[in-house]
Structure 1
Amino acid sequence: MPAIQITPLHPLFAAEVRGIDLRERVPEPVFDEVNAAFGRYAVLLFPGQDVTDEQQVAFSQRFGPLEPLESYGRKDRSRLQGHISDMSNLDADGKLWDPNSLKRLFNLGNRLWHTDSSFKHVPALCSLLSARSDPPPEGGGTEFTDLRAAYDALPPGMKARIDGLVVEHSIARSRELVGYTEIDPELNKRLPPVRQRLVRVHPGSGRKTLYLASHASHVVGWPLGEGRALLAELMEFATQPRFVWGHSWTLHDLVMWDNRCTMHRALPYDDLTYQRVLHRTTVSEHANTLEQLERAEEGA
């Protein structure tokens, strides 16, 4: 069996993986290599993977249960069904979206630094994004930041200050930041605001990491303004260029990232002229971050 090639893409994290065909079931020894690399690098690029939705789902499920699709109040119909999220700028008929499309306004939130599904009681473990079109001539890339490295670089006083803090996350918070007000009134019943740890241990590497996102609203138990100022300070620190790797998409790229220790954001492009078609699968964690801490302490 030929060995896979793993090439680092950044001094701190992110790597390219070659010598693997995700259209077929990956043998266990090879999958173990991929999983180990994922634990170390947190972001993996698999170039040249012309996968179908079914093949993407099959590979994704090797990492855990997939999140079902969720409606956030958009009235636009989706092109895709099942566990595949449509991260394109196309409407349900495959045409470029309308300038006033609710989907377009909602997706502006993806240009903010975030980690997927931190606003869910059980957040996301990882996401896998597959490029199904040629990229636009300018822009449209995705940036990632390593929150483990950012935590390591914090001054000791800041580490002591944030140790043990709990933060409330909600989808309404991030969309509020881009002016999206069409959240389904029933959404808070399905996805009420949740509490997550601000500092956690990343299972894949055993390193401490920040857990940040534009979905993070405030620090529980702190005055609103003071908590939001702290979160803004940490977001600014964690997204310095030294912690960031940017990817320019090519047709059939597949990128997976660890939502437990990274943030990402989509970069702008001329979305009313050029198609940008990406399909995403998202794997759930097994428990809320606070529940994970409780279980770890009980087992200690």
Structure 2
Amino acid sequence: MIDSKALGPAFGVEFTGVGDPLDDSFVHRCVEALKWRGVLLVRGLHLDDEQQLAFSRRLGEVVALNGQEIFPISINPEKSRTAKYLKGAFFWHLDGTTDDVPVKATTLTARQIAMTGGGTDFASTYAAYENLPEKDRERFESLRVVHSFEAAQRLVNPDPDEKELTAWRAQPTHEVSLVWRRRDGRRSLVTGATADHVVGMDPVESRALLDELLDRTTQERFRYTHEWEVGDLVVWDNTGVLHRALPYDEDSERLLHRTTVVGDEAFA
């Protein structure tokens, strides 16, 4: 029998007793949990790549980049070709903020874990918005923010050389509303490491506001920290949950396998 319990007061749910992750009733519960609780966890499920993909496809179409649907997540260059850029994952972010339609959900399975560090933090942008004072809600409704790959990478390397800077700036930027008015009537905040500047605002004031808002969004009462165990499955709603990896050594054995589910709601 499948049971569930909250991971925290604001969001998150852990399922136990999961035998078949493709069972229709379990998949339905997962879809509902992602919508209303943001993050779901199943400890020790030990899905292989084929099983992880099959489960992911029950949530929607899986992103395939260069024909690859499973992505290794590691900052060890021997384990991942994108290890250098994955260091940006140590900062709070939403995936796909420079796209018109961000990815819907992400699944991670733990294949190997770090001896020290390497957990993953999550923070609910729904809960953060819902707890804003009314005056701030009214103020933020009209603000628009430009997101860029460069903004996130400057947190990793604040002094890039010309070649690196040119590569960053070759990536598209995207202007979105700070408050995402969702089609189901809910509201969430679009913030994180890619938030470059508030449109029309003094640069110093813009940076101060974005930093303050990120601090408010990621305070402990809106957050869940996951300490990985081999075999864990974690899934989250990328449209309403910021995430970041906690530091671990570059030569660590930590290896997660990731799938990404195609989004179906544009920023608005």
Rounded Cα–Cα distance in structure 1 between residues aligned with 2:105 and 2:140? 25
Query: Between Structure 1 and Structure 2, how many residues are aligned?
Result: 265
Does the aligned pair in 2 maintain the 1:116–1:127 contact within 8 Å?
no
Match of 2:208 in 1: 229
Rounded Cα–Cα distance in structure 1 between residues aligned with 2:63 and 2:229? 26
1:160, CA displacement in angstroms?
0.8
Q: What are the superposed Cα offsets for residues 260-291 of structure 1, whole Å, 9 maximum, x if unpaired?
A: 1111111112232x31000111112124313x
AA at the equivalent of 1:19: G
Q: What are the superposed Cα offsets for residues 75-104 of structure 1, whole Å, 9 maximum, x if unpaired?
A: xxxxxx611222123435x5xx8xxxx844
Match of 1:141 in 2: 119
Match of 1:297 in 2: none
Counterparts of 1:108-147 in structure 2, within 5 Å, are 108-133=87-112, 135-147=113-125
Gap change, CA 1:203 and 1:246, over 3 Å in 2:
farther
Rounded Cα–Cα distance in structure 2 between residues aligned with 1:280 and 1:184? 28
Structure 1 residue matching 2:59: 3-state secondary structure: coil
Structure 1 residue matching 2:26: 3-state secondary structure: helix
Match of 1:254 in 2: 233
Match of 1:154 in 2: 132
Match of 1:293 in 2: none
Rounded Cα–Cα distance in structure 2 between residues aligned with 1:63 and 1:254? 14
Q: 1:196 aligns with which of 163, 167, 176?
A: 176
Q: What are the superposed Cα offsets for residues 197-228 of structure 1, whole Å, 9 maximum, x if unpaired?
A: 21124567x53211212011112233333322
Rounded Cα–Cα distance in structure 1 between residues aligned with 2:118 and 2:82? 17
Structure 1 residue matching 2:50: 3-state secondary structure: helix
Counterpart check, 1:238 vs 2:217: yes
User: Unaligned 5+ residue runs, structure 2?
Assistant: none
RMSD: 2.4
With a CA cutoff of 8 Å and minimum separation of 6, indicate the structure with the bigger relative contact order: 2
**Structure 1 length as normaliser, TM-score?**
0.80
Match of 1:32 in 2: 28
AA at the equivalent of 2:179: V
Does the aligned pair in 2 maintain the 1:118–1:213 contact within 8 Å?
no
**Structure 2 length as normaliser, TM-score?**
0.89
1:115, CA displacement in angstroms?
1.1
Counterpart check, 1:84 vs 2:84: no
Does the aligned pair in 1 maintain the 2:149–2:168 contact within 8 Å?
no
Structure 2 residue matching 1:62: 3-state secondary structure: helix
Rounded Cα–Cα distance in structure 1 between residues aligned with 2:183 and 2:229? 30
Counterparts of 1:1-300 in structure 2, within 5 Å, are 2=1, 4-21=2-19, 26-69=22-65, 82-92=68-78, 94=79, 103-133=82-112, 135-179=113-157, 181=160, 191-202=171-182, 206-272=185-251, 274-290=252-268
